[in-house]
């Protein structure tokens, strides 16, 4: 196998809160190359926390421990601020789950994208602006020059998500962690945005970690899928074999999906089994 | 009929975010709004909720024409769940005070019991009660937003992508809960969603929006059968069958 892009071994993340310690991630491992990894799983199972730990963005009340945590052969444990500055944004980037929260509310969307490009490539204003407009157009924004000058509160939910994606993509990272990047997009736009990500993986050799609740989408789009429950990976599958999952949690999850071709009086729900929290 | 909108138009500068939209919603019904990202769905809900004052056309709620602003009595009858739950929860307010606030505003009793029940109903234990929004996962925050809207026992809920941040098992629980509450209390929903299967499950009728206009209205059976007249709706249905690289290419040329 080629040199792995990411190696995570036995990752643990816990948070101290007023009342107790929350063990958000409990022993996650992943070795990945230039491929599309899907992460699905229960709300609160540790998907976003895992992504943020990989990028060194765990908040101060959190504690990260791992046997190995590597990006492109470099140990990320104990990396200093200077080290992170070289990696983050430029080489590894993350599209956060709440786009409006991650965008700067007092700066126009276009300027944020242009600045992201300008910082990484030392480009002049005009060039950065052109790049930003092209990036907005690439993510299917209808009227890029209008949207360039809008503030985050003036764009729709899906436009905010696409602005975030555009901002990460202008930096051409080697690893993109995309946390629910298309949940606010209608399926026609979603499909075109995914096609861009697909191309970056296929042509530029980017690695993609794609966190999503959309099981059908992950099955069709990704190469491999990790299923998380209670801070652990309970199952890893080839994406194309997701429908043949074995773990009762994954099976139950598939069963909860509403289907256009199947009318139901009530949706099926999941009976959670405490044993899913334990063991291998 | 609990709600009707005619010639509803909202412009931001030159751009018409909503362009002459018209629809009606019966009491106790669930009405869906689907459409392209940026087509004006959230703007319609925000006008209904009184969050945008600059619009033209007419809206009637429960037989009375609505003006630019809404009074407190309106918000005890109509509540909105926002698309982006971060925006609707104050970062320095615990979940407990986020839920206590509407109870105080609407002078409701038994705060303690109502808060416990509201959290319970959306599948969050009391362990979450004194946490701050940033200490929750995306789906947990969304469930707090839903609990906050339900806690004042409204007649109508405006739901903007209420479950797109939730995993499918929690989504099923939340949708079952919303549906049960609607039936039990004759609640009315206006619901925006990108997920056609969710809309078909929840809504008897739906409107499809594209570039500010309602391009098509249909019932759930037509949606299930894939009977669409408008070209955008047809594209939407094709795309909802799953990721397909070639189909994505064909959309580009169609544009
Ligand atoms: N700063 C924090 N302090 C305390 N607990 C936290 C903090 N951040 C996250 N958590 C908890 O860690 C757990 C994992 O959160 P995470 O955001 O990774 O979930 P997720 O799998 O991304 O869920 P979702 O699908 O709902 O976004 C949750 O129970 C959450 O409440
Ligand atoms: N305050 C504002 N100022 C300028 N333009 C705005 C403002 N609010 C909304 N818009 C514009 O109105 C259009 C419709 O936005 P809206 O949020 O209603 O879309 P939407 O259908 O909800 O999309 P999505 O599915 O992506 O959430 C967008 O082009 C948006 O940029
Ligand atoms: Mg998350
Ligand atoms: Mg919206």
How is chain B split into domains, by residue range? 3-77+154-253
Q: In a 10 Å sphere around its CB, with 0-12 CB exposed, 13-18 middle and 19+ buried, how is residue B26 labelled?
A: middle
Per the listing, tokens 């019932």 go with B219
Distance from the alpha carbon of residue A28 to the mean position of ligand 4, in angstroms: 34
Run of H or E residues at A253: helix A248-256
Mean pLDDT of B230-243: 88
Is the domain of A46 the same as that of A181?
yes
Mean pLDDT of A51-79: 95
pLDDT digits (tens, 9 = 90+) for A2-50: 789 999 999 999 999 888 899 999 999 999 999 999 999 988 899 999 9
Is the domain of A21 the same as that of A81?
yes
Higher-pLDDT residue of B242 and B197 is B197
Mean pLDDT of B167-175: 90
| Nearest residue by C-alpha to atom 6 in ligand 1 | B135
Mean pLDDT of A252-266: 92
Is the domain of A161 the same as that of A237?
no
Is the domain of A138 the same as that of A268?
no
Confirm whether A198 is domain-assigned. Answer: no
Asked if pLDDT for residue B255 goes beyond 80, the answer is: no
Residue A26 Cβ inside 6 Å of ligand 1? The answer reads no
Domain carrying residue A244: 1-91+176-186+203-280
Asked if pLDDT for residue B85 goes beyond 70, the answer is: no
Question: What pLDDT is attached to residue B108?
Answer: 93
Within chain A, how many helices (H) and strands (E) appear? 10, 11
Is the domain of A279 the same as that of A215?
yes
Is the domain of A139 the same as that of A234?
no
Q: Do B239 and A263 touch (CB under 8 A)?
A: no
Distance from the alpha carbon of residue B86 to the mean position of ligand 4, in angstroms: 14
Residue B210 Cβ inside 6 Å of ligand 2? The answer reads no
Task: Quickly list H helices, B13-167.
Answer: 41-48, 72-77, 85-88, 95-105, 111-121, 138-150
Q: In a 10 Å sphere around its CB, with 0-12 CB exposed, 13-18 middle and 19+ buried, how is residue B87 labelled?
A: middle
What is the band of A279 on the pLDDT scale with cuts at 50, 70, 90? low
Is the domain of A27 the same as that of A126?
no
Q: How many domains is chain A partitioned into structurally? A: 2
- For B56-82, letters b (16+ CB in 10 Å) and e give eeebebeeeebeeebeeebbbbbbbbb
In angstroms, the separation between the Cα of residue B72 and the nearest Cα of chain A is 25
Confirm whether A270 is domain-assigned. Answer: yes
* CATH tag for B3-77+154-253 (out of 3.10.20.30, 3.40.50.80, 3.40.50.300, 3.40.47.10): 3.40.50.300
Residue B39 Cβ inside 6 Å of ligand 2? The answer reads yes
Q: Do A195 and B198 touch (CB under 8 A)?
A: no
Q: Determine which of B143, B167, B209, B234 to mutate to test the interface with A (most A C-beta atoms within 10 Å).
A: B167
Is the domain of A19 the same as that of A151?
no
Q: What is the DSSP letter of B45?
A: H
Q: Which residues contact A194 (CB under 8 A, 6 or more apart)?
A: A182, A217, A221, B243, B248
Is the domain of A270 the same as that of A181?
yes
Is the domain of A85 the same as that of A109?
no
Is the domain of A67 the same as that of A115?
no
Per the listing, tokens 């795309």 go with B239
Confirm whether A272 is domain-assigned. Answer: yes
Is the domain of A145 the same as that of A78?
no
């Amino acid at each position: 196998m080629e040199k792995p892009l990411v190696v995570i071994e036995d990752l643990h993340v816990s948070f101290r809160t007023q009342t107790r310690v929350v063990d958000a991630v409990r022993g996650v491992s992943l070795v990945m190359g230039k491929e599309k990894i899907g992460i699905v799983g229960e709300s609160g199972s540790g998907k976003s926390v895992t992504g943020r730990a990989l990028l060194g963005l765990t908040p101060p009340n959190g504690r990260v421990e791992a046997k190995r945590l590597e990006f492109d052969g470099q140990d990320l444990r104990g990396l200093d601020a200077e080290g992170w500055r070289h990696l983050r944004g430029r080489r590894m980037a993350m599209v956060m789950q709440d786009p409006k929260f991650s965008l700067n509310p007092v700066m126009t969307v276009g300027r944020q994208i242009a600045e992201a490009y300008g910082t990484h490539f030392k480009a002049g204003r005009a060039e950065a602006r052109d790049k930003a407009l092209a990036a907005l157009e690439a993510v299917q924004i209808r009227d890029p020059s209008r949207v360039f000058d809008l503030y985050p509160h003036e764009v729709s939910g899906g436009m905010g998500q696409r602005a975030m994606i555009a901002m990460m993509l202008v930096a051409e990272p080697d690893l993109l962690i995309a946390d629910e990047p298309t949940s606010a997009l209608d399926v026609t736009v979603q499909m075109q945005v995914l096609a861009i990500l697909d191309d970056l993986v296929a042509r530029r050799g980017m690695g993609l970690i794609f966190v999503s609740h959309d099981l059908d989408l992950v099955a069709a789009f990704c190469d491999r899928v990790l299923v998380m429950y209670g801070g652990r990976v309970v199952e890893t599958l080839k994406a194309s074999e997701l429908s043949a999952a074995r773990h009762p949690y994954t099976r139950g999850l598939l069963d909860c999906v509403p289907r256009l071709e199947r009318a139901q009086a009530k949706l099926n729900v999941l009976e959670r089994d405490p044993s899913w929290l334990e063991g291998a | 009929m609990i709600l009707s909108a005619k010639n509803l138009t909202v412009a931001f500068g030159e751009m018409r975010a909503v362009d002459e939209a018209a629809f009606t919603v019966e009491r106790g019904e669930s009405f869906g709004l689907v459409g392209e990202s940026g087509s004006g769905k959230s703007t319609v809900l925000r006008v209904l909720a009184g969050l945008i004052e600059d619009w033209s056309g007419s809206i009637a709620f429960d037989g009375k024409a609505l003006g630019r602003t809404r009074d407190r009595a309106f918000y005890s009858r109509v509540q909105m769940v926002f698309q982006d739950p971060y925006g609707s929860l104050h970062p320095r307010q615990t979940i407990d005070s986020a839920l206590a606030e509407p109870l105080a505003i609407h002078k409701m009793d038994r705060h303690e019991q109502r808060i416990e029940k509201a959290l319970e109903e959306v599948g969050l234990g009391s362990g979450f009660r004194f946490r701050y929004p940033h200490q929750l996962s995306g789906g947990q925050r969304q469930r707090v937003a839903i609990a906050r809207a339900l806690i004042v026992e409204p007649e109508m809920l405006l739901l903007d992508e209420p479950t797109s941040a939730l995993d499918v098992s929690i989504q099923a629980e939340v949708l079952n809960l919303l549906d049960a509450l609607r039936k039990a209390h004759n609640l009315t929903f206006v619901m925006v969603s990108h997920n056609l299967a969710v809309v078909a499950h929840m809504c008897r009728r739906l409107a499809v929006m594209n570039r500010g206009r309602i391009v098509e209205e249909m019932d759930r059976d037509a949606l299930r059968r894939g009977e669409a007249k408008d070209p955008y709706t047809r594209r939407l249905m094709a795309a909802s069958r799953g990721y397909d690289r070639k189909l994505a290419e064909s959309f580009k040329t169609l544009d």
